[in-house]
Amino acid sequence: MMLSAPPSATAETFATTFDLGIQGMRCASCVRRVEQSLLAVEGVQGAVVNLAAQTARVTALADTGLQERIADALRREGFKPSFALQNERKAHIRGNDGVGISSLSTIWAEWGQVALALSFALPLMLPMWASWLGWHLVLPAKWQFLLATHVQGLLGAQFYLGAWRALRRGTANMDTLVALGTTAAWALSTWLWWAEGASAHLYFESSAMVITLVLLGKALEARARRQTTSAIRALQGLRPDIAHRVGQDGEADVPVEDVRPGDTLAVRPGERFAVDGVLVEGHTQVDEAMLTGEPMPVDRGPGDAVVAGTVNGAARVLVQVQAVGADTVLAAVVRRVEDAQASKAPVEQLVDRISAVFVPIVLLLGIGTFVVGWGMGLPFDTALLRAVAVLVVACPCALGLATPAAIVVGTGVAARYGILVRDVQALEQARRCDTVVFDKTGTLTMGQARLERIDCAPEYDESSCLRWAAALQSGSEHPLARAVLDAARQRKIDIPPVHGLHAVPGKGISGAVEEHPYTLGSLAWAQEQGGSVPALAVEAALQQGHTVSVLWRNAPQGTQTLAVLAFADAVRPSAAPAVLALRSMGMQVRMVSGDHPQAVHRVASQVGIDPNATQSGALPQDKIAAVETLRQHGHGVIMVGDGINDAPALAAADVGMAIAHGHLGADVAIHASAITLLRDDLALVPAAIDIARRTTTTIRQNLWWAFVYNVVTIPLAMFGYLSPVLAGGAMALSSVSVIANALRLRRWRPPGLVPPAHSSPFHHR
């Protein structure tokens, strides 16, 4: 969503759009601050901030001083802008280690803070835990003070800074809550220690644990954000760095950046195309799975178009360049992933909405308690203790635990069943969704060809025909060849040797088996050879969405057709039960695929999806358009896919679910999605929705309890019925209640699923 600023009064009318990097964004509140700061700059007309990529896309009137004004505005808010984003992104993408030195330092800074906070906070918690067991352990007050002060001053400084910035804007957020509550507990404990000595009851553990838990939650969120950017890196990695340019002096290797439209490139067998272009010499088969998601290579010859990132087959070809760099289809897919991620409006955290009202009220109540109590004749110390009790009892222990406790337990139990939640916001989004859109190939189906049937001529049997076909395909890595060989092995058919093999790219293969010449090829090639192909067998196979190959023998009297082989992509056994389970949950189920209509309708009928709720022949842009159309009609959309071609739609959906297969396309889909299914069991889809609903329900229950707790206890503290000691106990009780409610999620058991036998679900990768 583009946020727009009021029109500038300047006379300039030429607008430009550019990207800039922004370091220091941690939450939705940061996104709002960046947007407001950018829109307040003179000349800025619009801004789209991408929290996951730590970038902003700015539309502004052309102005030589614009960048300086933007940089100053962001620095005042505590963010670090970078206008060298394109060079940074290029270097980041070309890195082959996956994690740069700066990323490692960031990770260490986040988790190092958590580890340091735990080392200080756990000794403070031991006496309280021991008291629950009847043991009396007391940590000297001096050591309590030193430990808590290190947490408060060293690790809590960032919350004071965030609270101060919010205060300057006249708002309050979670930083304000943390700073207010922990300072109250720390200051009260310090004052009691100074006033009453070693016998005083202190509350240092409260301030230390709140800061520790909040730091843990922020580290988990930052980790999830970093992982989302690897989708773009994986997509860019599909383009080779070197191209073989053909010129008057022969063939020379050059960097892809030096290739220009009109150049001629040689592409060797097994290499990826580096550019978009047109074949000018050679016949081959091209694996376009990254574009269409379909496992079957397609025939390409002179005049046919090829796109960057797709894989050349078994023949060397020449390509005339038509588009390079940012103009390629691959670059367009990258931009779609970026734009889809950026277009997701930041979800305003419920805690921030509560704190915006809650914090000022608590401050006023605390001050009012002291002023009114002292004015009514209460001793200064008594009035102050009542005011401090209000602040202590309002310390956001329960609020700080409400979300992370439910998330840690909910995502942990989900991981036991192979459901990896990569984006915590997806839990809330999944709760609101009412439509699930499935990709077909590799998602509802197995993603690999299988020999479905063999229709033989009357004088031949299936075993003999399969034997000859398998001999021709022995040693080939073509998907159809693997299907033939798998079928022969399953039937325990001995495969005879073959001699004089000759492959014709895009058509088929021929050779001598047991001294007879056989050919296995496409239907079009068989018809070119003048063979009489059984029309009924071919028509039946095509109507069912099967891919057809023909086996024939070249005899002196002419071409003799022996068999018609029909191939199909097998439906996953878990697909139909998963669709039924989703419908029982009130979800609409749809399918969008790059395959032809017959194949799509065949799979839809087998899994229980209405054929009218399917879309065939869909390219990546069509899939993302289908998702966006559903969203525009008010549907919350969950997209389930597994390939590179699904990545834009996964990113554009309210929730993207990717199935992990371990191949490159799956990795790209995983990084573009919010939830990863670590097993090929589609029962995980309804299970993921169910645990998302239960987890968000638990979060809401926890927040409701934390709010009610404050509504009840704050008045008691104001009127002196709740001393600071009891306030600390009540605060601890609220935290225990929140944790206990979250732990109920550990009993979650999705119907029809059992935990994997491995010690970790990640073994299924």
3-class SS of residue 78: coil
**Widest distance between CA atoms in the chain:** 121
The tokens for 545 are: 């969405």
Q: 213 vs 117, 270, 573, 679, 694, CA distance in Å?
A: 9, 51, 43, 31, 22
CA angle (204, 206, 211) in 5-degree steps: 105
Q: Exactly one of 263, 423, 439, 642 is catalytic; which is it?
A: 439
The tokens for 226 are: 């970093």
Q: 438 vs 294, 556, 657, CA distance in Å?
A: 14, 51, 10
3-class SS of residue 145: helix
Helix residue ranges, H only, 585-683: 597-607, 620-632, 647-652, 664-672
Q: How does DSSP classify residue 515?
A: T
3-class SS of residue 263: coil
Q: What does the CA dihedral 290, 292, 295, 298 come to, rounded to 10 degrees? A: -100
Q: Is 299 one of the catalytic residues?
A: no
For the chain, give me the number of helices (H) and strands (E)? 26, 27
Q: Are 117 and 151 in contact, with CB atoms under 8 Å apart?
A: yes
3-class SS of residue 681: coil
Helix (H) or strand (E) holding 236: helix 230-236
Beta strands 419-421 and 675-677 are: antiparallel
Q: Are 12 and 43 in contact, with CB atoms under 8 Å apart?
A: yes
Q: CA–CA separation, 125 vs 145, rounded Å?
A: 13
Kindly list the catalytic residues. 439
